[in-house]
Amino acid sequence: MTKNTSNDDLVANILKGIEDVKGENIDILDLRALDNTVCDYFIICNGNSNTQVVAITNSIQKAVSKELKEKPWHVEGTENGEWVLMDYVNVVVHVFQKHIREYYNIESLWGDAKITSIASKY
Protein backbone atom coordinates (compact mmCIF):
# COMPACT_ATOMS: atom_id res chain seq x y z
CA MET A 1 0.00 0.00 0.00
CA THR A 2 1.38 3.38 -0.93
CA LYS A 3 1.40 6.38 1.36
CA ASN A 4 -1.29 8.00 -0.80
CA THR A 5 -3.89 5.35 0.03
CA SER A 6 -5.64 5.59 3.37
CA ASN A 7 -6.81 2.58 5.32
CA ASP A 8 -10.38 3.94 5.08
CA ASP A 9 -10.26 4.07 1.27
CA LEU A 10 -8.77 0.61 1.11
CA VAL A 11 -11.35 -0.87 3.50
CA ALA A 12 -14.21 0.80 1.59
CA ASN A 13 -13.04 -0.63 -1.72
CA ILE A 14 -12.50 -4.09 -0.25
CA LEU A 15 -16.05 -4.00 1.13
CA LYS A 16 -17.36 -2.95 -2.28
CA GLY A 17 -15.56 -5.87 -3.89
CA ILE A 18 -17.06 -8.31 -1.38
CA GLU A 19 -20.58 -6.92 -1.71
CA ASP A 20 -20.45 -6.86 -5.53
CA VAL A 21 -20.42 -10.67 -5.58
CA LYS A 22 -22.62 -11.19 -2.52
CA GLY A 23 -19.99 -12.17 0.03
CA GLU A 24 -21.60 -12.88 3.39
CA ASN A 25 -21.03 -12.31 7.11
CA ILE A 26 -18.56 -9.45 6.72
CA ASP A 27 -16.64 -8.52 9.86
CA ILE A 28 -13.98 -5.84 10.24
CA LEU A 29 -11.56 -6.41 13.11
CA ASP A 30 -9.78 -3.22 14.19
CA LEU A 31 -6.42 -4.37 15.56
CA ARG A 32 -4.81 -0.97 16.02
CA ALA A 33 -5.27 -0.86 19.80
CA LEU A 34 -3.67 -4.28 20.31
CA ASP A 35 0.03 -4.94 20.84
CA ASN A 36 2.15 -6.90 18.36
CA THR A 37 -0.33 -7.15 15.53
CA VAL A 38 0.67 -7.85 11.95
CA CYS A 39 -1.65 -5.22 10.45
CA ASP A 40 -4.26 -2.58 11.33
CA TYR A 41 -7.37 -4.44 10.15
CA PHE A 42 -8.62 -7.90 9.31
CA ILE A 43 -11.62 -8.11 7.04
CA ILE A 44 -13.31 -11.49 7.17
CA CYS A 45 -16.14 -12.78 5.00
CA ASN A 46 -17.39 -15.98 3.51
CA GLY A 47 -18.80 -17.40 0.32
CA ASN A 48 -20.90 -20.49 -0.28
CA SER A 49 -18.53 -22.39 -2.57
CA ASN A 50 -14.95 -22.43 -3.77
CA THR A 51 -16.14 -20.71 -6.94
CA GLN A 52 -17.69 -17.86 -4.95
CA VAL A 53 -14.63 -17.53 -2.69
CA VAL A 54 -12.42 -17.09 -5.76
CA ALA A 55 -14.98 -14.68 -7.29
CA ILE A 56 -14.93 -12.58 -4.11
CA THR A 57 -11.13 -12.51 -4.20
CA ASN A 58 -11.11 -11.43 -7.85
CA SER A 59 -13.78 -8.80 -7.21
CA ILE A 60 -11.77 -7.31 -4.32
CA GLN A 61 -8.63 -7.13 -6.46
CA LYS A 62 -10.57 -5.51 -9.30
CA ALA A 63 -12.29 -2.91 -7.06
CA VAL A 64 -9.07 -1.93 -5.27
CA SER A 65 -7.03 -1.84 -8.48
CA LYS A 66 -9.62 0.23 -10.34
CA GLU A 67 -10.15 2.86 -7.64
CA LEU A 68 -6.80 2.97 -5.85
CA LYS A 69 -4.33 1.50 -8.36
CA GLU A 70 -3.19 -0.91 -5.64
CA LYS A 71 -2.41 -4.62 -5.78
CA PRO A 72 -2.15 -6.99 -2.83
CA TRP A 73 1.35 -7.62 -1.59
CA HIS A 74 0.54 -11.34 -1.36
CA VAL A 75 -2.41 -13.67 -2.07
CA GLU A 76 -2.62 -17.32 -1.14
CA GLY A 77 -5.27 -20.03 -1.13
CA THR A 78 -6.88 -19.47 -4.52
CA GLU A 79 -5.91 -22.99 -5.64
CA ASN A 80 -8.58 -24.70 -3.51
CA GLY A 81 -10.86 -21.74 -2.76
CA GLU A 82 -11.54 -22.73 0.85
CA TRP A 83 -9.62 -19.93 2.59
CA VAL A 84 -8.00 -17.14 0.62
CA LEU A 85 -5.74 -14.65 2.38
CA MET A 86 -5.10 -11.30 0.69
CA ASP A 87 -2.38 -9.16 2.23
CA TYR A 88 -2.63 -5.44 1.53
CA VAL A 89 0.02 -4.81 4.26
CA ASN A 90 -2.11 -2.66 6.62
CA VAL A 91 -5.29 -4.59 5.81
CA VAL A 92 -5.46 -8.38 5.56
CA VAL A 93 -8.54 -9.97 4.00
CA HIS A 94 -9.68 -13.51 4.81
CA VAL A 95 -12.25 -15.01 2.42
CA PHE A 96 -13.58 -18.36 3.65
CA GLN A 97 -16.06 -21.00 2.73
CA LYS A 98 -18.58 -20.96 5.58
CA HIS A 99 -17.62 -24.35 7.12
CA ILE A 100 -13.90 -23.48 7.05
CA ARG A 101 -14.58 -20.13 8.73
CA GLU A 102 -16.59 -21.84 11.46
CA TYR A 103 -13.84 -24.43 11.99
CA TYR A 104 -10.97 -21.94 12.38
CA ASN A 105 -13.04 -19.19 14.05
CA ILE A 106 -10.20 -16.68 13.76
CA GLU A 107 -12.40 -13.92 15.21
CA SER A 108 -12.09 -15.66 18.58
CA LEU A 109 -8.29 -15.50 18.36
CA TRP A 110 -8.53 -11.71 18.22
CA GLY A 111 -11.21 -11.39 20.90
CA ASP A 112 -9.82 -8.08 22.17
CA ALA A 113 -10.20 -6.43 18.76
CA LYS A 114 -13.05 -4.08 18.06
CA ILE A 115 -15.33 -6.00 15.67
CA THR A 116 -17.71 -4.26 13.29
CA SER A 117 -20.20 -6.44 11.43
CA ILE A 118 -21.44 -5.15 8.10
CA ALA A 119 -25.13 -5.76 7.42
CA SER A 120 -25.88 -7.61 4.20
CA LYS A 121 -27.44 -5.48 1.47
CA TYR A 122 -29.51 -8.34 0.10
CA distance 101 to 41: 17
CA distance 91 to 96: 16
Task: Give the domain ranges of the chain.
Answer: 25-118
Domain 25-118 adopts which CATH fold? Beta Polymerase; domain 2 (3.30.460)
Do residues 90 and 10 lie in contact, with contact meaning Cβ atoms separated by under 8 Å? yes
- Tens digits of per-residue pLDDT, 43-98? 999 999 999 999 999 999 999 999 999 999 999 999 999 999 999 999 999 999 99
Sheet containing strand 74-76, edge to edge, reads 74-76, 83-87, 91-97, 41-47, 24-30, 114-118
| R_g (Cα) of the chain, nearest Å | 13
Give the pLDDT score at 120.
Answer: 75
Predicted model pTM: 0.92
Single out the residue of 121, 113, 119 nearest to residue 40, CA to CA.
113
CA distance 62 to 68: 10
Q: What is the mean pLDDT of residues 114-119?
A: 92
